[in-house]
């Protein structure tokens, strides 16, 4: 009964939070934090942290990767990096960022070091945006203080690379060309009322009201001749503010708030900005998933346009998110973990299969947006699924959970939760053009039905 009531409460909460047009948060299968986007070969990747279910602190064990080509359908690439990837680390897989250089991908992370018993900056390296990744140097890149958190990295136009981090101080250093060692000394930015809204932490006067206060979560980049440092500000709860500078070391000037305090459901925030396919995007996190909050956060995104002078407009959190910038081809294999929005399901990894959709129950669903069926339309549908018990069925519908039913795929028991078999079903005639596609899962109530690996329509 207790589990049943919990399930009903979660369903009610989801219905209340998720309007029909919802796109935020962009991942619903688990909690995601501290977004760090990167564009590579025409695809946008977002590197995130992961809040554990039911956490009462930032007990975070791994980092995750998601990607998109259209800004609405996100493919889950699982967790290619975790605390266990660093022999010297033992706790708190907090904010991180990945960058590409010379065909290698360098993922800068922070986690607790058992060597110094403080937080530390580490770096992993991989041959692709999704890994596999490994500890690049076998030790911390820099450690020794509790405020060594939230690294952000940027490679400037002249090829010089810079790393910033810190809470409540702002530290920065230049990276050598190898990207895994520091060039010169680590320096601390001088915070003043003019540069960041308030003096350095040790110089602040208790009770005095400052213009703003840098807190944590820096995001550093360049646009044109201007350098930007965005950050969580104001203490707790946090808003997002920014400063602009003339170079990597400044001088900086405080400009103002980007995302003011509002109902995000989380007392922290962590932002990132990137341009993709001619648009500018602002990533952040909220506590808006059912069961979410300050220790159960979820990544969201908004589109924006810079002001003529290069400054930011005010950006507010929305449930609607961003518009699509492409369509999805249903006639190629589509991984089931490519999702625009979902209800009830989770994902799991397997060394052989990769990531797949799991934890499907009666009434759960997956939505995929902007599916282009073309002028002729499909004749059938194939899916790969696995079930250790009784299975179920997939109702395939257009444009809403209870929209036009175009196919039903029966999924019997396959003998195991990872014993994959391919099933096919006919598709109703006349399915043409661009639609949102819903996979609605049905079967006996209360029990897990099946796992889903991929799907593909055929003509």
3-state per-residue secondary structure call for 226-270: EEEEEEEECCCCCEEEEEEECCCCCCEEEEEEEECCCCCCCCCCC
Q: Where are the alpha helices (DSSP H) in 141-234?
A: 193-196
Q: What is the mean pLDDT of residues 407-435?
A: 98
The percentage of the chain sitting over the pLDDT mark of 90, rounded to a whole number, equals: 95
Per-residue pLDDT of 372-412, as tens digits, reads 999 999 999 999 999 999 999 999 999 999 999 999 999 99
C-alpha gyration radius of the chain: 23
Which residues neighbour 84 within 8 Å (Cβ) at sequence distance 6 or greater? none
What pLDDT score does 20 carry?
A: 63
Q: Are residues 249 and 172 in contact, defined by beta-carbon separation less than 8 angstroms? A: yes
pLDDT at 18: 54
Assign 431 to helix, strand or coil: coil
The pLDDT of residue 6 is above 80: no
Count of Cβ atoms closer than 10 Å to residue 153 Cβ = 23
CATH, range 22-304:
2.115.10.20
Alpha-carbon separation of residue 441 from 120, 346, 365, 448 (angstroms)? 44, 13, 6, 10
Cβ neighbour number for residue 23 with a 10 Å cutoff: 23
The DSSP secondary structure of 274-292, one letter per residue, reads EEETTEEEEEEEES-STT-
pLDDT bin (cut points 50, 70, 90) of residue 10 is: very low
Closest CA to 434 of 389, 395, 385, 399: 399
Strand residues in 127-238 grouped as ranges (E): 133-135, 142-143, 152-155, 161-165, 171-175, 182-188, 214-223, 226-233
Per-residue pLDDT tens over the stretch 223-255: 999 999 999 999 999 999 999 999 999 999 999
pTM of the predicted protein model = 0.95
- pLDDT value at 368 more than 50: yes
Is the bond preceding 412 in cis, omega lying within 30 degrees of 0?
Answer: no
Please name the fold of domain 334-458.
Jelly Rolls (2.60.120)
Prior bond of 251 cis (ω within 30°): yes
Average pLDDT value for residue range 70-98: 98
pLDDT at 15 over 70: no
Kindly report, residue by residue over 246-285, the tens digit of the pLDDT: 999 999 999 999 999 999 999 999 999 999 999 999 999 9
The answer to whether 128 and 134 are in contact (CB under 8 A) is: no
pLDDT at 441 over 60: yes
Ordered by start, the domain boundaries in the chain are 22-304, 334-458
What is the reported pLDDT for 21? 77
pLDDT tens-digit profile of 287-306? Answer: 999 999 999 999 999 999 99
């Amino acid at each position: 009964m207790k589990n049943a009531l919990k399930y009903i409460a979660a369903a009610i909460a989801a219905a209340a939070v998720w309007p029909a047009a919802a796109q935020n948060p962009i991942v619903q299968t688990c909690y995601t934090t501290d977004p760090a986007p990167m564009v590579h070969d025409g695809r946008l990747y977002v590197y995130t942290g992961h809040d554990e279910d039911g956490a009462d602190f930032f007990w975070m064990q791994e980092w995750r990767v998601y990607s998109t080509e259209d800004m609405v359908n996100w493919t889950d690439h699982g967790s290619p990096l975790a605390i266990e990837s660093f022999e010297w680390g033992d706790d708190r897989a907090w904010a991180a960022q990945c960058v590409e250089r010379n065909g290698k991908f360098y993922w800068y992370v922070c986690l607790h070091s058992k060597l110094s018993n403080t937080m530390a900056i580490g770096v992993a390296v991989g041959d692709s945006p999704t890994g596999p990744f490994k500890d690049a140097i076998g030790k911390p890149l820099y450690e020794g203080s509790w405020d060594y958190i939230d690294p952000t990295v940027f490679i400037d136009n002249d090829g010089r690379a810079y790393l910033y981090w810190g809470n409540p101080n702002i530290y920065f250093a230049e990276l050598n060309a190898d990207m895994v060692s520091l060039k010169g000394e680590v320096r601390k930015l001088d915070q003043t009322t003019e540069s960041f809204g308030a003096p350095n932490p040790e110089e602040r006067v208790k009770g005095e009201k400052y213009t703003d206060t840098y807190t944590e979560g820096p995001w550093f980049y360049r646009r044109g001749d201007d350098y930007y440092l965005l950050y969580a500000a104001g203490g707790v709860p946090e808003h997002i503010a920014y400063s602009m500078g003339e170079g990597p070391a400044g001088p900086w000037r405080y400009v103002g708030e980007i995302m003011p305090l509002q109902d995000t459901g989380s007392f922290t925030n962590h932002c990132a900005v990137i341009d993709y396919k001619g648009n500018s995007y602002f990533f952040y996190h909220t506590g808006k998933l059912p069961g979410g909050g300050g220790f159960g956060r979820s990544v969201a995104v908004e589109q924006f346009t810079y002001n003529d002078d290069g400054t930011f407009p005010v950006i507010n959190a929305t449930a609607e998110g961003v518009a699509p910038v492409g369509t999805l081809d249903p006639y190629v294999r589509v991984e089931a973990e490519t999702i625009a929005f979902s209800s009830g399901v989770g994902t799991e990894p397997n060394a052989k299969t990769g990531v797949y959709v799991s934890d499907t129950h009666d009434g759960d669903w997956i939505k995929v947006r902007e599916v282009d069926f073309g002028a002729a339309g499909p004749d059938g549908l194939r899916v790969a699924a696995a079930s250790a018990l009784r299975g179920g069925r997939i109702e395939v519908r257009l444009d809403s959970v209870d929209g036009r039913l175009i196919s039903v795929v029966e999924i019997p028991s396959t003998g195991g939760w990872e014993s994959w078999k391919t099933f096919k079903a006919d598709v109703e005639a006349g399915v043409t053009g661009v639609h949102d596609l819903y996979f609605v899962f049905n079967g006996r109530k209360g029990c897990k039905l099946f796992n889903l690996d991929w799907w593909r329509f055929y003509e």
